[in-house]
Every structure is written in C-alpha cells, then in structure tokens.
C-alpha cells in the first residue's frame, strides 16, 4: 500500500472551498387547498411569456401508501416543505436547483446536511462524509479501487443480490473471495460470525447490511479478524433507520433513495486514513481523495438531492433522532410480521426470524395463484408497489422510515380481510 | 478492437424494461399568491404528525436575474409547473421523487424526455440516448474506456479548461495527444480546422463545443480525417441552445445543469455501433452497453433530474424548437456583446470575435479595480453571479436559454449606468 497521500488524480485537485454558516429554518408544512380551487391567469414580472391558466398545487387527500423499495415514499412534511420553497428558497430569489454549488446559499445547505447527518449517526471527525453521484453500484467499484491494490485479497459475505453484485464488480479491482453465501438457503439467513473463515490478509470484509430484495438485515456486525483490515457495509436500504456505531466500520455507503431522499445521491462515510491511495486507473470521479479534499464540490454535486436529504435529516432529528426512529420502525415491522405469523400459513415470510429486515418485508401467499389479485386489490385500496422483486416473485412491503404507521395498519387490515375472503 | 458485443459487465446485465406511453399534459404555470397570505394550521390525513402553521408557496416577484454558469437559471414556467406537481404528480398519488423507476408513471416520464430530446436534436435511431449520473467529468473517463483500447492514439483539441480536464483524464485509458491548444493565447480562440495535424490512427477527435470558463464556442465542427474515427464533443454548456447535426458525431455528452435541467443528470448521445467494446477494467456504471441495454434503468437513475429535463425539453419544443431558441440566444448575446464593444474599451471581451460564445460571456473592466464594485452594485440591482470564474477573474455573464431577454437588457442598462458613473 503506497504511503504517499497523493494519487494520480492529484493534478486535478482544487483547493477546498470555504463554507458559510446559516441558521436553519424551522420545519413547516404546506396548507391543503380545497380540491376545487379556481385556476388563475397571471403574467410573470420577470418573464416575457404569458403564463397560461393554472391549477393550484395539489396536496389533495388522494396520496397513496407507497410500499416501493426505492425510490420510495418520502416524509409528507418534507415534500410539502420542498414544494413550498421550490420556486424561491427562503428569499434567495431562486430555486435550489438554480444555485451555484459554490455560492453561500448552497454551501449552507450542504454544510447543514452534513452536520445533521453527523449528529444523527454520531460520526466523529475521524470520518469524512461525502455526497456523491453514481449510486451504490459505483461504490462497488470505488471501494476496491480506493483502498486496495489489485492483488489484495478481500472477503465478501453474500446475503442477497446486492452483496452478490458488489462482489462481482470487485473482481475487476482486487482479489475478492465469498467467504459465506446465503444462496443455498435462498438468501434467508445470515452467517454465525464466529464460524466465518476470514482470510488472513483480507484488506476488508464487505457486508450488505440490509438486503432490499431478500429482506435479510444484520442486527449486529462481524468483527474483522485482520487488525489492519476494515469492515465495509452497504447500508443503502436501512441507512438512518436505527443507530449505528460508525466506529466499527471503515466505510459505510448508501444510495439515498430508500430511506433518506430521492435517487441521485450516494452518501459515503469513510475513515479518513483510508483515503489517498487509489489505484492509478481510478477515474477521478471515483477517487475519494478528490471528493474529500473538495468537500464533495470537486465538480457539481447533485444539489437538489442533497437538499432533499438535508430536509430528511432535519426531520429525523426533529423526531428525536435514530433511537426514536428505530422504535417506530420496530413497531411497524412487528405489526406486519405478527400479521404474517398469525395467519396460520396463509401468509409466509421466508426469512429466518432473527434476521428479518425492519425495512423490507418479502412474503408469499400459501395460495400463490392469488398473488396477482392481492396486489391488484391492495392497489384499489390505495396501497401500491406491493409486488415482490421480479427476481423472487411473491409480495414485498417496504416500510422505510417515511412509511406512516397508518400505512402498515391499513395493509395489515387489508391482509386480514383478504384472508377472510380467500382463506 | 474486440468484435464481440459482450463486455466484462455482461454477467451483470438485466433484460431491457418495457415502456408505457402516456400523453403529455399541457404546460401550465402556478398562480402568484398575495405576498401576505395568512398561515394555516392543518392535520394531514395520512400522517399522525400535526403539521405546524405554514406559509403559502413563494412565487413572489423578488426573483433575481441569475447569471451563474451552472447550476444555472431554469425557465420560470418549468419551475412553477414542477412546484405545482411536486407533492402529487398528475394524480399519481405520490411525488416523482417517490416513484419506482420501473413503474409505469416514471417510465412514461423518461420515455417522453427521450423522445422530446430526439425531436429537438433530430436524433436518428442510429444513436442511443442515455440519462446517466456522474457529470461530464465521469464521461472524461467513460469515453476512452468504452471506445478505445489502452494503446489507441486519440486526438484532443484543447480550447479551455474543460477540454484540458478531459484530456488529462483520458491519459489513464488511452494514448491521447493535444493536437492544438489555445493556451498560449489564453484560450481566446479556436484552431483553423484545415491546419489541424490530426493523428493518422486516432480513434476519436475530442472537442469541448463551448468552454464555460473562457467563453469560446465552436460555430462549426472539424471533419475527422481518419475514416474509422469519430468526433466526440462535450456540449455541456451549449446543449440544446441551437440545432446540431448529430450525425457528424460519434458521441455528444452534456451535464444537464447549464441549459436543460438541475445538476445530477448527464446526457450521452452515442452512435450505437460504438457500444459494446468497453475495456475490461471499466466499472459497470461507466459501461455504455449496460446502460443502453437497460434504457438507462440498469440501476436507479436520477429520476427527479430526468423529470426536470423532460419539462425543459417540452418547453423548448413549445417555443418552436432549437431554430427558434437559437434566434433568441443570438439576439441576447448580440445585445451584450454590442454593449461591450460599444463601451470604448471600458468593458473588454478577450475572445476572438468569430468564436464568442452565445452562452458564456466573460469580460473585464479597463479599470480592474472596479470589478468588485461592479459585481456588488449589480447584485443590489437583482443581478447575481456575475463574478468571473476564480481561475480567470473579471466578470462573466452566463446567458443560457432560460435567461430572459429582460435580464440581458437590465444588465446592459446597468453596465451603461456603471460606466457613466465610473468611466
């Protein structure tokens, strides 16, 4: 491992930018207009075009319960706030989407997002927080490119599709080995950590903390045997759903579009001493040093997505932080799993009970031929995206932070009715 | 060059997804509420939380003229439309930000965005249109990785900072050569195409069609000498500002956040026969074949950004397409350059007249010590982001499609006053 802190991308580095600090506004929501408001005709002062007659903004009561796995439901108050300030953000005279990423307004937005995330997860200064593009899928390559030499052995625990994809991508950049796979049991469980045959010199041990498709979630984490190695976790689908001891990890990464924002933002939390040794062939946009040195502003970041994440982080803090958020998630998941377990086999969860995900709940019907009707009937009741992932079939309810308790209660009530009708 | 159409990423391929077709809604804007609307207190039906008292959405008349170079001003009617449907998109019962990227609503959005873009630029079926993450900066690596072998010679024309960055990144993945550089003249001109010393076997010739920092724009394009090679252009800062004969190019790429949307979306238009020969070390997210085969849905795309681009494309078509848009841009640029040229030297444009950009207008003051005051005074008048790029100083007015004529007229009036006061 090179001891120098420069990378082939150093020649492209700019100076880190300074940041302004601005006090946050309180969170507030948007009024619900009457459904039959009359359209208005206006002329914009600053525009030569005549605006056509309009409808008022829709905040109607026909909002669905959206059980999609990502992109996913967002907190209602966050959406309403974003809507209220889309055209003119807090008197700035422009939308967040129009701001120079190097101007003081956007700097205040990204700075606040980062500091709120640090509060939420209690992230120490030993770690950098990066807001990147490219999805978790780019991180599958970035991680080995940045912290491995091509000949380095690396261990992967594969507990579902996403761990499998991460492993396959890593084969290009290091010498990864699958030291445990849940595939023989159809990805319904986790390994016993003490029984893991970890490689002596593995540079890192990779896990997918929550498998979105298979609904398998780590409740605690393996210890990496090699003292010089680190634990790396894809937390895309349970990020900020519960507290995490970040100090156990070298890298945590997460696509925002499950629990904390819209698609287009990937958050990387990386211990600083791991940065600066990227392989020579690393594209500049995949080099953590470039992004860390430039506070995620080496090039234009996904500004609106970062802003939305910031609103979500604020909202999570307002709920009392991740301890409180976890309580809600445990409660919601409990209601749903109880309904499955209490159905006498009409509904079935394939996952080993101790590792059932709080976020993604796959289940099947004893009478599989009813699955299409289940999804259709649920949609009529205003509950959508319950079809299981195309690779596994069945049903799946994703019940992220922003899924209200009322949505889970409605789903469970529907499940009981459906069983009564078809059982 | 491998003749097989498979890449090392083939094992990660999924089946292309089908797309639904939905008729577009007409464009309409958002009413302007009175500035002193009273806050309301509401309880959301679907949420257990009580919404706090709110302010109505701000569409006040204090919108600034924003001359930023990207992210940049967006069309006002597009922002108002996005605002009106942020919470509930056209009766879908959810925001675009919450939609499954594989659901019929979002499929209709991305399909319409692509078909509108094809109309705007008259893109034939010989070309794929991709909506990617990672910025143009990722494309600096993607292009040589996808269409070159590591030993392939490639020609770069460097007319400013962005062409220079593209060249430097390419050194990792092919054998690029700068066959012409504007650096000796401080990036104020373009080469005479006939005098270019193109390499015999260059795989492609790369240009930056419009240099955002230096304000130098190609008005026509060089012919590539090598019949087997292609012309590749970074059109980030003049994309959709004027018609382009796409058939002259092998690849056109553009970060959306100058002329067609918010940051976080990069559009790549690539001739299909160039796809499928990526180098083995290419990260899956940089492999064009993966994205083309999956209609940009291999993983979760930047959905909200794509939606915003779609609204912009609709708006450009409504204006009569790029022939009409170019007329407006020519007019706006003319007014500003005339003001500079007619100032008797008080204002100066460094760029060779025949290649002056219609999009980015850098200029200096004869009395350089007044530049800070110019920017400050202009800001007081509601014109912001006029400071030049930090690498060149001076001033810069970016006057993309969405900068209204009124903004340029106001700037010019201000420039005349300022000169009268300080000349």
A58-116 pLDDT tens trace: 555 689 999 999 999 999 999 999 999 999 999 999 999 999 999 999 999 999 999 99
- What was the pLDDT predicted at A53? 38
Is the domain of B196 the same as that of B296? yes
Interface mutation vs chain A, best among B10, B26, B65, B98, most A CBs within 10 Å = B98
- Tell me the sheet residues that pair with A129: A269
* Stretch B332-354: mean pLDDT: 98
Quote the domain boundaries for residue B213: 104-316
Question: Same structural domain for residues A298 and A346?
Answer: no
Q: Does A263 lie at the interface with B, CB-CB under 8 angstroms? A: yes
Q: Which residue of A has its CA nearest to B172?
A: A281
Tokens standing for residue B287: 């492999």
Q: Nearest residue on chain B to A408, judged by CA atoms? A: B46
Residues A260 and A341 in one domain: no
Inter-residue contact A295 to A16 (CB < 8 Å): yes
Residue that is last in its domain, among A291, A316, A341: A316
Determine contact: A133 vs chain B, CB below 8 A: yes
Question: How far is the first Cα of chain B from the last one, in angstroms, to the nearest whole number?
Answer: 62
Mean pLDDT of all residues in B75-79: 98
Q: Tell which of B262, B282, B284, B325 to mutate to test the A interface (max A CBs under 10 Å).
A: B262
Distance from chain centroid for Cα B274: 23
Of B112, B162, B293, B387, catalytic: B162
At B62, the pLDDT band (50, 70, 90 cuts) reads confident
Residues of A in contact with B62 (CB under 8 A): 88, 91, 93
Cβ neighbours of residue A36 under 8 Å, at least 6 residues apart? none
Q: State which H helix or E strand residue A365 sits in.
A: strand A360-365
Residues B176 and B311 both lie in one domain? yes
> What CA–CA distances, in Å, run from B314 to B26, B58, B115, B320?
9, 24, 10, 10
Same domain, yes or no, for A297 and A340?
no
Of the candidates B134, B201, B321, the one whose C-alpha atom is nearest the C-alpha of residue A137 is B134
Tell me, yes or no, whether B203 lies in a domain.
yes
Side-chain-facing half-sphere of B4: CA atoms under 13 Å: 8
Domain match, B271 and B382 both: no
pLDDT > 70: percent of chain B: 86
Other Cβ atoms closer than 10 A to A5 = 12
How does residue B9 score in pLDDT terms, banded at 50, 70 and 90?
low
Give a yes or no: residue A212 inside a domain.
Answer: yes
Residues A311, A327, single domain; the answer is: no
Residue of B116, B164, B234, B315 with catalytic role: B234
B278 in any annotated domain: yes
Maximum separation of any 2 CA atoms in chain B, in Å: 72
Beta carbons of A42 and B29 less than 8 Å apart: yes
- The answer to whether B262 contacts chain A (CB < 8 Å) is yes
B104-121 and B303-318 are packed helices; what angle lies between their axes, rounded to 10 degrees?
Answer: 40
- The pLDDT tens digits for B199-230 are 999 999 999 999 999 999 999 999 999 999 99
Cβ partners under 8 Å of residue B334, min gap 6? none
Contact status, residue A153 vs residue A199, Cβ threshold 8 Å: yes
User: Using CB atoms, which residue from A31, A137, A281 is nearest to B54?
Assistant: A31
Burial class (CB in 10 A: 0-12, 13-18, 19+), B390: exposed
Please judge whether B98 and A62 are an interchain contact, meaning their C-beta atoms are less than 8 angstroms apart: no
Q: What is the CATH number of the domain that holds A226?
A: 3.40.640.10
User: How close B165 gets to chain A, by Cα (Å)?
Assistant: 8
Q: Does B212 touch chain A (CB under 8 A)?
A: no
> Of A282, A316, A350, at which residue does a domain stop?
A316
Do residues A330 and A213 share a domain? no
| Structure tokens given for A123 | 């992230």
The total number of structural domains that make up chain B: 2
| CB-based contact B134 A134, cutoff 8 Å | yes
Domain assignment present for B151: yes
Residue pair B268/B351 in contact (Cβ under 8 Å)? The answer is: no
Q: Does A47 lie at the interface with B, CB-CB under 8 angstroms?
A: yes
Tokens of B296: 């940009």
Residue in chain A nearest B144 by alpha carbon: A283
**Quick one: closest CA in A to B306, which residue?**
A264
A167 reaches B (C-beta below 8 A): no
Q: How many CB pairs under 8 A join A and B?
A: 348
Tokens of B136: 């143009």
A12 touches chain B (CB under 8 A): yes
Q: Which of A16, A137, A297 is best to mutate for the B interface (most B CBs within 10 A)?
A: A137
The answer to whether position B122 is within a domain reads yes
Q: B341 and B310, same structural domain?
A: no
Q: What is the pLDDT of residue B381?
A: 97
Partner residue opposite B66 with nearest CB, options A27, A77, A98: A98
Whether residues B46 and A406 touch (CB distance < 8 A) is answered with: yes
SS3 category, A368 = helix
Q: How far is CA B353 from CA B154, B219, B357, in A?
A: 29, 11, 9
CB–CB of B23/A48 below 8 Å? no
The CATH number covering residue A373 comes to: 3.90.1150.10
One domain, residues B278 and B363: no
Look at the alpha carbons of A205, A206, A209, A215 in this order and tell me if their dihedral is positive or negative.
negative
- Cα-Cα end-to-end distance for chain A: 61
Q: What's residue B60's pLDDT?
A: 52
pLDDT by residue, tens only, chain A of 423 residues: 334 445 546 544 443 333 333 333 333 333 333 333 444 433 343 433 334 334 445 555 689 999 999 999 999 999 999 999 999 999 999 999 999 999 999 999 999 999 999 999 999 999 999 999 999 999 999 999 999 999 999 999 999 999 999 999 999 999 999 999 999 999 999 999 999 999 999 999 999 999 999 999 999 999 999 999 999 999 999 999 999 999 999 999 999 999 999 999 999 999 999 999 999 999 999 999 999 999 999 999 999 999 999 999 999 999 999 999 999 999 999 999 999 999 999 999 999 999 999 999 999 999 999 999 999 999 999 999 999 998 889 999 999 999 999 999 999 999 999 999 998
Nearest CA in chain B to A68: B100
Q: ipTM of the assembly?
A: 0.88
- H-helix or E-strand containing A323? helix A322-341
**Cβ atoms of residues B121 and B239 within 8 Å:** no
**Are residues B139 and B244 located together in one domain of the fold?**
yes
Q: Residues 58..97 of A with a Cβ closer than 8 Å to B: which?
A: 58-66, 68-74, 76-77, 79-80, 82-88, 91-95, 97
The H or E element containing residue A380 is: helix A371-380
- Tell me how far apart the alpha carbons of residues B95 and A64 are, in angstroms, rounded to a whole number: 10
- A379: Cβ contacts below 8 Å, ≥ 6 apart: A386
Check A80 against B87: CB less than 8 A apart.
yes
The two tokens of residue A199 are: 């490689």
Q: Which of B258, B289, B332, B387 is catalytic?
A: B258
How close, in Å, is residue A123 to chain B by CA atoms? 26
Q: Is the pLDDT of residue B85 over 80?
A: yes
Catalytic residue IDs of A: 162, 234, 258
- Is position A273 within any domain? yes
- Pick from A397, A262, A376, A240: which is nearest to A332 by CA? A397
Mean pLDDT of B89-97: 97
Tell whether A409 lies on the interface with B, counting CB pairs under 8 A: no
Burial of B41 (C-beta count, 10 Å sphere; 0-12/13-18/19+): exposed
Residue A275, pLDDT score: 98
Instruction: Point out the domain boundary residue: A316, A340, A366.
Output: A316
Residue B24 pLDDT more than 50?
A: no
CB of A18 within 8 Å of any CB in chain B?
no
B13, B290 Cβ separation under 8 angstroms: yes
Q: Is the pLDDT of residue B42 over 70?
A: no
Confidence of residue B423 (pLDDT cuts 50, 70, 90): confident
Cβ–Cβ gap B64/A385 under 8 Å: no
Domain shared by B302 and B326, yes or no: no
The answer to the question of residue B108 being in a domain is: yes
What's the average model confidence in pLDDT over B401-422? 98
Length of chain A: 423
Name every residue whose Cβ is closer than 8 Å to that of residue A317 and which is 6 or more positions away in sequence.
Answer: A116, A119, A120
**CA distance readout (Å), A370 to A29, A34, A298, A421, B110:** 40, 39, 52, 11, 32
Neighbours of B100 (CB within 10 A): 23
**Distance, CA of A75 to CA of A312 (rounded, Å):** 7
Question: Under a CB-based contact definition with an 8 Å cutoff, are residues B315 and B308 in contact?
Answer: no
Element at A204 (helix H, strand E): strand A204-208
Helix B322-341 × helix B405-422 angle, to 10°? 0
Please tell me if residue A56 touches chain B, with a CB cutoff of 8 Å: yes
Cβ contact, residue pair B404, A284, below 8 Å = no
Q: How many helices (H) and strands (E) does chain A have?
A: 9, 14
pTM (two decimals): 0.89
CA B312/CA B76 separation, integer angstroms: 10
Contact A57 B87 (CB under 8 A): yes
B95: nearest CB among A8, A79, A169:
A79
Residue A40: count other Cβ atoms within 10 Å of its Cβ: 15
Helices B303-318 & B76-84 angle (0-180, nearest 10): 130
Residue range B223-265, pLDDT digits in tens? 999 999 999 999 999 999 999 999 999 999 999 999 999 999 9
A334 at interface of B, judged by CB pairs closer than 8 A: no
Residue with the larger pLDDT of the pair B7 and A9: A9
Q: Is residue A83 part of a domain?
A: no
Q: Residues B341-348: what's their mean pLDDT?
A: 98
Residues of B in contact with A261 (CB under 8 A): 97
């Amino acid at each position: 491992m090179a001891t120098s802190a420069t990378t082939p991308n150093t020649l492209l580095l700019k100076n880190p930018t300074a940041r302004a600090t601005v006090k946050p506004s309180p969170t507030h929501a948007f009024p619900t207009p009457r459904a039959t408001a009359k359209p208005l005709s206006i002329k914009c002062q600053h525009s030569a075009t005549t605006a056509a007659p309009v409808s008022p903004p829709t905040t109607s009561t026909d909002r669905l319960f959206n059980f999609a796995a990502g992109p996913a439901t967002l907190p209602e108050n966050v959406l309403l706030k974003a809507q209220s300030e889309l055209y003119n953000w807090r008197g700035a005279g422009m939308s967040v989407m129009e701001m120079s990423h190097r101007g003081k307004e956007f700097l205040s937005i990204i700075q606040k997002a980062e500091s709120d995330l640090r509060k939420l997860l209690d992230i120490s200064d030993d770690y950098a927080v990066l807001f990147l593009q490219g999805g978790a899928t780019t991180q599958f390559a970035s991680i080995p490119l940045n912290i491995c030499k091509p000949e380095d052995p690396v261990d992967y625990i594969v507990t579902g599709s996403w761990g499998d994809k991460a492993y396959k991508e890593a084969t290009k950049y290091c010498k990864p080995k699958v030291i445990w796979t849940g595939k023989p049991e159809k990805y319904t469980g986790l390994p016993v950590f003490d029984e893991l045959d970890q490689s002596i010199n593995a540079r890192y041990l990779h896990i997918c903390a929550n498998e979105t498709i298979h609904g398998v979630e780590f409740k605690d984490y393996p210890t990496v045997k090699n003292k010089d190695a680190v634990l790396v976790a894809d937390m895309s689908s349970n990020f900020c759903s519960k507290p995490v001891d970040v100090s156990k990890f070298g890298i945590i990464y997460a696509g925002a579009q499950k629990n904390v924002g819209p698609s287009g933002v990937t958050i990387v939390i990386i211990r600083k001493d791991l940065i600066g040794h990227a392989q020579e062939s690393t594209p500049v946009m995949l080099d953590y040093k470039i992004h860390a040195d430039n506070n995620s502003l080496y090039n234009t970041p996904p500004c609106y997505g970062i802003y939305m994440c910031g609103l979500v982080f604020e909202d999570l803090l307002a709920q009392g932080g991740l301890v409180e958020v976890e309580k809600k998630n445990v409660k919601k998941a409990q209601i749903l799993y109880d309904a499955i377990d209490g159905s006498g086999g009409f509904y079935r969860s394939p996952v080993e009970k101790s590792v059932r995900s709080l976020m993604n709940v796959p289940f099947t019907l004893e009478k599989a031929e009813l699955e299409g009707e289940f999804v259709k009937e649920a949609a009529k009741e205003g509950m959508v995206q319950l079809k299981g992932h195309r690779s596994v079939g069945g049903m799946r309810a994703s019940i992220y932070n922003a899924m209200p308790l009322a949505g889970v209660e409605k789903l469970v009530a529907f499940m009981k009715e459906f069983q009564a009708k078809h059982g």
